[in-house]
Amino acid sequence: MLENTPVTRYIDPRVKRTRALIEQAFHDLLEEKSFQSISVQDITDRAEINRSTFYAHYKDKYALLESSITRIFRRELEQQTLSACHYSRENLQALIVTVCDFIALAHKQYKPADSQFEVLVEKQVKKEVQALLEHWLEESGPTNNIKMAATAATWAIYGLALQWNNDKNHGKVEQFAIQISPQIMGILQITQ
């Protein structure tokens, strides 16, 4: 996650504007219909660009969705300053809250959600969470197998967050994060 964030790379303002137009059109369409039923033509019509412009920026609508999810989720992590921080119980709980909130937002905002959409959301969120956990583990000292621990913790966080979201009588997300953080810490083999 951290190594993919271009810090000093210059992006032409026209490219930024075009991508913003495409993403806004895409998000507007997601609020109206399912991901599966959206075509590239729908996106380009809504963004008022031609298809060749779309394909100059994205391979297909799946690449657009992956890019969009990654950008939005990274922004959420950055708002919590999790991408720049170190491991602590509080930061782990903030990460859990961020994942829960993101899943809830995705399910609420983009109806009706279809299986392809949910799979792509899951893939991108897990990728970002795993990269952050690996970063934390590398910085916190010796751990037997960083990749394995981060992978297991990522799956646990995402799965539990999904369960929390699907439970109609779920409590406050902050309480949920406090409740499950000891199990995640055990997976990460970090005590504090």
CA distances from 69 to 74, 146, 178 (A): 8, 25, 26
CATH placement of domain 71-188? 1.10.357
Among 95, 112, 113, 105, CA closest to 158: 95
Check if the beta carbon of residue 132 is closer than 8 Å to that of residue 1. Answer: yes
**CATH homologous superfamily of 13-62:** Homeodomain-like (1.10.10.60)
- What global pTM score does this model have? 0.81
CA distance 132 to 74: 10
Burial state string for 154-166 with b = 16 or more CB within 10 A and e = fewer than 16: bebbbebbbebbe
Per-domain residue ranges of the chain: 13-62, 71-188
pLDDT per residue as tens, the chain (192 positions): 444 444 446 677 888 899 999 999 998 998 888 888 999 999 999 999 999 999 999 999 999 999 988 988 988 888 887 666 788 889 999 999 999 999 998 877 765 556 778 888 899 999 999 999 999 888 877 666 889 999 999 999 999 999 999 998 888 999 999 999 999 999 987 644
